[in-house]
Amino acid sequence: MLPFTFTTKNAEIYLRRAEPADLPRLIDLNKRAFPLMAEENVVWSERQLTNHLKLFPEGQVVAEIGGELVGAVASLIVASGRDPYRAHTYAGITDGGYFHNHDASGDTLYGADVYVDPDWQGRGVGAALYEARRRLCQNLNLRRILAGGRLANYAEHADSLTIEAYVEKVKSGELQDPVLSFQLKEGFSVRGILRNYITDPMSLNHASLIEWLNPDYVEHEPSSKVRVACVQYQVRKIESFEDFASQVEYFVETAADYRSDFVLFPEFFSVQLLSVIEPLPAIDGIRHLSKEFTKPFVDLMSRMANKYNLYIIGGSHPIERDGKLQNECMIFDPSGRYISQPKLHITPSEQRYWGISGGDELIVLPTPKARIAVQICYDVEFPEASRYLADQGVEILFVPYCTDDRHGMFRVRKCAEARAIENQIFVATAGIIGNLPSVQAMDIHYGQAAVFTPSDFEFARDGIQAIADSNVETLLVTDIDTEDLYRSRAAGSVTPRLDRRTDLFELKVNLKNMKTDVEMTDGPEIDLPK
C-alpha cells in the first residue's frame, strides 16, 4: 500500500509512513495548518504522535514533494458497534488524542486528522492523503472510513443559519466550506451532526459526521473473544526433569483441549526443579537453577507452545545477565519463539535470599488476539508501570506470582483488581501452591488464580471474571472480550482513562527499551511427532 506516488497537474506527491524523525516537523506543520486551534492548545504533542506510531504505524501517513514534508494524516481503527453513527466527541473517540483505544479488531478506520502546509494547499496534497487513507481502508478490509469534519466557515453564518441548514446548503452547493466541500468531492457522505465535538472557534465546536464506504469490503465475523487459562500450580518434590516436564505438559495440553489462546504459569514454578538435587543454600540453589536448567526449561516451553499452538506465559525463571541474576518471565508464541520480561521491583526476600536484581524494560507484545504484557508479582503493586503499559495499548496484563501466605496473595490480588479498574484492562493472575521443604526460601505457598475486569455494566459482577478455589491444584479457564474494554472506555459509567488530569499529573518513564523495539528470540530447533 505504501509508499506510492500520487500525480496531480501541479506536483508529484510521495506518500509514505510517518517515522519518529518526522515528529518535530509534524508538530510545526499542525500548528501552521490550524493556528486558531494552536491558540486553544488542541494541536498534536510529541507524546501523542509518538503513541500513534507505536499503536498504529500503518495509519500515520505523510506526504512529501521534492523531499519536503507538506502534509499528514492521523488515523486509528475503532469498532462501529450497533450504531456506527452514534454521537461522540473527538476526545472520546481518540482517547484524548493518544489513540489508546485503537482497536485492531475493529471494522472502521477513523480519520483523526488531515493537515497540509498552508504554502502547499490547493496543489492536490489533501486529495493524495485522502487516497492514502482509502487505500489503507481497502488493504485492511475495513468496512468504512468515518470522521468528524470541521465546519470551517460556520461561524460566519451562525447568526442566520442553524448548523443543520448550513450543512444542507454546503451539500447542495449554495455555500462553500473549505473542509466539507472538499470531503464531499472526495466521495464522503454526511451521516449526522456532532455537537461539542472539538474546541474550534471557526466551527463553533460543531462537526459533520462523514463516511466513506469501502466498495471492496468482504463481510467477515471478527472475534474479540479471548480464552485465558491460569495454572494454579502445585510444587511438590520430583525425581527428574522429566517429572517436571510431565506436570507442565499436563496443564498445557489441558489448556489446549479447552481451546485456550493463552496459558499463564505462576512465578518461580521452575524452582520445583531444585527438589531434584541435594539441598543447597538459597543463593547457590537459585544460581544452579539458572545455570543448569535454563536451556532445558526454554526448550520445554518452546516445544509445548509450538506443539499445542498457543501462547505460554512462562511464569518466571532466574536468568543471569552480565553477572546479575534477574527474575524473568518468558512469553512463548505458537511458533516457539520467545521474549523475556524481567521483574522490575524486587522484594526484600528475593534480594536477601537470592541476590536478585531488578530489570529496566517493559515489553508490550501485540498478538493476533490481544495486546499483552506481563508484570511479575510485586510489580503489579506499583501503579506507574501498569499505567505506562495501558498507555501503550495493553488489553490483557498477565501477573504470575509466588506468595507465602494469604496476606501476600491479597496484596497481589487487590492491586491487580485496582490496575484493572483504573486502566480499564483485563488482569489475569496465577500463583504457586504447595510446599518444597527441601528447597530453601520455597517452604510454603498460598495461591488463588483469578481474572479481573473493570467494574462496569459490560463486565462480571464485582469485577471478577473468574476465580479459582484457593490452594487447590487446578486450571482456571475463562473467556474475556476485548471489545467490552473499548465500549467501557468510550461510554462507561465512568471513564477513568479519558478523565485523567494530565494538566496536573504526568508520568515520566525512563525504561531502557523505550526507544527500541524488542524482538522475539527464535526457539530451539524442534522435532515434533509426525
Hey, is 114 helix, strand or coil?
A: strand
Considering 230, 343, 402, 415, which one is annotated as catalytic? Answer: 343
d(CA 52, CA 73): 11
* Nearest Cα to Cα of residue 249 among 298, 303, 289, 296: 303
Q: Is 402 part of the annotated catalytic residue set?
A: no
Residue found under cell 511458533: 335
Considering 137, 329, 377, 402, which one is annotated as catalytic? Answer: 377
d(CA 389, CA 394): 6
Long-range contacts of 198-201 (CB under 8 A, 24+ apart): 198/42, 198/89, 198/90, 198/91, 198/148, 198/150, 199/37, 199/40, 199/42, 200/36, 200/37, 200/40, 200/42, 200/150, 201/36, 201/40, 201/155
Instruction: Name 400's bridge partners.
Output: 430
d(CA 413, CA 380): 9
Q: Is 267 part of the annotated catalytic residue set?
A: yes
d(CA 54, CA 377): 26
Residues 308, 315: contact at Cβ < 8 Å? Answer: no
* Nearest Cα to Cα of residue 473 among 430, 444, 438: 430
Hey, is 16 helix, strand or coil?
A: strand
C-alpha cell at 38: 494552536
Beta strands in 168-323 (DSSP E): 189-194, 207-213, 225-235, 262-264, 311-313, 317-321
Considering 64, 137, 211, 267, which one is annotated as catalytic? Answer: 267
* Nearest Cα to Cα of residue 439 among 320, 227, 273, 215: 273
Q: Is 343 part of the annotated catalytic residue set?
A: yes
> Catalytic site residues?
267, 343, 377
